[in-house]
Amino acid sequence: MRLKKHVPLFESTLKHVVARPLLSSRCGRCRYATSSAAYPENIAVLGGGISGLASAHFVAKEFPKSKITIYEANKEAGGWIRSRKVDVPGGSVLFEYGPRTLRPTPSSKPTGQLIQDLGLASDVIVTRRDAPGATNRYIYYPDRLVKLPSPPGLPSLRSLIELFRSGAADGVFSALTEPWWPRRDPSLTDESVGAFISRRVDKRVAQNLVSAVYHGIYAGDIWKLSVKTLMPLLWQHEGRSGSIAKGMHDIDADFSKPDRRTLWHPYDLASAKAMHDIEIESGLKTTLDEASVYSFKGGLQQLVHKLKQNLEKNKNVDIKLDSPVQSFKMVPKSAERVKVVAGHKAKETTKNFDLVISTLRHKPLTEYVTVMTVNLYFSQPNLIPVQGFGYLIPQSVPLEQNPERALGVIFDSDAISGQDTAPGTKLTVMLGGHWWSDWPGHPSEAEGLEMARSVIERHLGITAEPAASHARLWPDCIPQYTVGYEDRLKEFATSARNEFKGRVRLVGNQYNGVGVNDCVGGAWLMARGLRNGGWRQRSCGLDRALDERPWVVDYAASYSKPLPEADAKAEEKA
Ligand SMILES: C=Cc1c2[nH]c(c1C)Cc1[nH]c(c(CCC(=O)O)c1C)Cc1[nH]c(c(C)c1CCC(=O)O)Cc1[nH]c(c(C)c1C=C)C2
């Protein structure tokens, strides 16, 4: 695979994911062993972002005797996780230029494992589930902040009235008639999130509510993102039962029951069970259980720094910074080794490896969007008229209310506390994303700062001069799983498997999720899949994409107990 010359910033730090079939869920394709060695002696990890570093960490645990070389194009590892302490009058504040918090979910247990392995538990800071920074979430629609109902507890009557009066919730009651809407055309193999929600509920719900959520995760366009990939459960329910509600009813997916059922892809079920078995020591577990989101005293980059330090301490690991990967391909006439060429022109080095873990991006598979993050700190406290996590701006907001194409604003002072020593108001404005996809260029960082200030003046009435600020453009930072992604991934995985004969595993955010937890989880699954001779099997790590087994019914907390035999039989029949 020849890479584009000089891999820019993200080429080496954005990633892909996931492993060979887990546990007993072997798929028939992966059975060809190609080597008799007990472990891969030389392993290359391409990319030193969070996926690459976490892969190296987990692989080093699996194979303590293997020599691991990490190639990173930039002078700093960690990708777009950047935390900077900024001195301000009266103390300091922490700016996060990229991702800022982690969410504790069952699928984020590998991140918990990593924190534990690195001895970072005492540096974890949390926003509790009942804190305003967790419960108060807003959307800006059409020209004001509207609070969204969010757990815990029932929403207040006042907030419901405000929500409906704003028009943001128009169309939600159409969901009640969803079971009677026509089934989808069987020839439809995928569609956009926007089209799906319009078809099954109401276009206004797609434009006003769903688009805001997808801005906050993918900075993406709901009329392009794939429903089959991003709302797989809803898509499966409709496919099986003709309607989402009927589908949930058919499998007894009652949300009020602690042992509710859900649909699983068998691969994901095996992954969930494997992750559930990760043991997190009780102190850290209690901390994470109470958290809506969490970070570290020194910001999210503390995780990356500690991870890198830990790898540097390992005499079998070599981290090569400022070493863009130029190409990697099978050594001619060998089914066993991969040749990696890395380094700047004229200083290129070539080395052969038994196993390569690539977190590099493969352009044709996904489009990317560019985001600008603008951090602002004001010495005056409580400048924001409300308390909360922040707000998202839906696609339906009229352009005159959003000429800067902002996606949302995070109220950092409320969203996570414990990182600053100076009092005041801290927020981050997120600009661009899909809105900038057809712009001929991007604003400069100075322009971005002006744009962010005009957003918060219009939306929040903040006119004060910031005591500190920073704008950062992240070109092509979030991959977009657009309509048809699953088919493209299948084709790509087939060709990668054939080309690399099991000697290259693909990991990172281009494959199974764009969040930090997804990247760490993908690395964990990949490393686990190398166990017990798994590294010799003919997999490219994207076996989930090639696994065509039908979805099954199981408990949402799949590990809690086995499904009754009668259910299992009925499911098998279905
Ligand atoms: C920095 C830009 C990012 C945007 N999305 C992501 C990043 C890193 C990835 C992402 N963000 C969220 C999720 C959901 C799962 C989760 O981990 O919580 C993912 C995969 C949710 C989220 N969105 C925003 C925040 C602060 C969070 C919590 C996690 C985090 O710190 O990233 C706000 C936000 N993110 C983006 C925009 C445009 C935005 C707007 C307010 C893009």
Residues 128, 135 contacting (CB under 8 angstroms): no
Tell me if 124 CB under 6 Å of ligand 1. no
Q: What is the pLDDT of residues 447-469, one digit of tens each?
A: 999 999 999 999 999 999 999 99
Can you tell me whether residue 569 is helix, strand or coil?
A: helix
Task: Convert 439-465 to b/e letters by CB count within 10 Å (16 or more is b).
Answer: eeebbeeeebbebbbebbebbbebeee
Tell me if 194 CB under 6 Å of ligand 1. no
Q: Rounded to two decimals, what is the model's pTM?
A: 0.92
Q: What is the pLDDT of residues 193-213, one digit of tens each?
A: 999 999 999 999 999 999 999
Closest by Cα among 459, 524, 540, 560 to 108: 524
Q: What angle do CA 548, 550, 554 make, to 5 degrees?
A: 135
Tell me if 215 CB under 6 Å of ligand 1. yes
Closest by Cα among 45, 40, 549, 562 to 307: 45
Closest by Cα among 294, 264, 305, 257 to 85: 305
Side-chain half-sphere exposure of 328, counting CA atoms within 13 A: 31
Q: How far apart are CA 401 and CA 144, in angstroms?
A: 10
Closest by Cα among 171, 7, 175, 181 to 79: 7
From the candidate CATH numbers 3.30.2270.10, 3.30.70.3190, 1.10.3720.10, 3.90.660.20, the one assigned to the domain spanning 83-107+115-134+366-480? 3.90.660.20
Instruction: Report which of residues 564 and 320 the model is more confident about.
Output: 320
* Domain ranges for the chain: 9-78+300-364+482-546, 83-107+115-134+366-480, 167-274+549-573
Tell me if 325 CB under 6 Å of ligand 1. no
Tell me if 216 CB under 6 Å of ligand 1. yes
pLDDT of 2 higher than 70: no
Alpha helices by DSSP H, listed for 256-389, are: 266-276, 282-289, 301-313
Strands (E), 161-273: 261-264
Q: What is the pLDDT of residues 320-356, one digit of tens each?
A: 999 999 999 999 987 789 999 999 988 999 999 999 9
Tell me if 408 CB under 6 Å of ligand 1. yes
pLDDT computed for residue 573 by the predictor: 62
pLDDT of 103 higher than 80: yes
Which architecture does CATH list for 167-274+549-573?
Orthogonal Bundle (1.10)
In ligand 1, which atom is closest to the CA atom of 300? 31
| Residue 191 structure tokens | 């569609």
Could you tell which of 217, 293, 370, 376 is best to mutate to test the pocket of ligand 1, judged by most ligand atoms within 8 Å of the CB?
A: 217
DSSP string, 482-541: BTTHHHHHHHHHHHHHHHHTTSEEE-BTTTS-SSHHHHHHHHHHHHHHTTTTGGGSS--S
Q: How many CB atoms lie within 10 A of CB 61?
A: 13
pLDDT of 479 higher than 70: yes
Which architecture does CATH list for 9-78+300-364+482-546?
3-Layer(bba) Sandwich (3.50)
Query: Do 83-107+115-134+366-480 and 9-78+300-364+482-546 have the same topology in CATH?
Result: no
Can you tell me whether residue 470 is helix, strand or coil?
A: strand
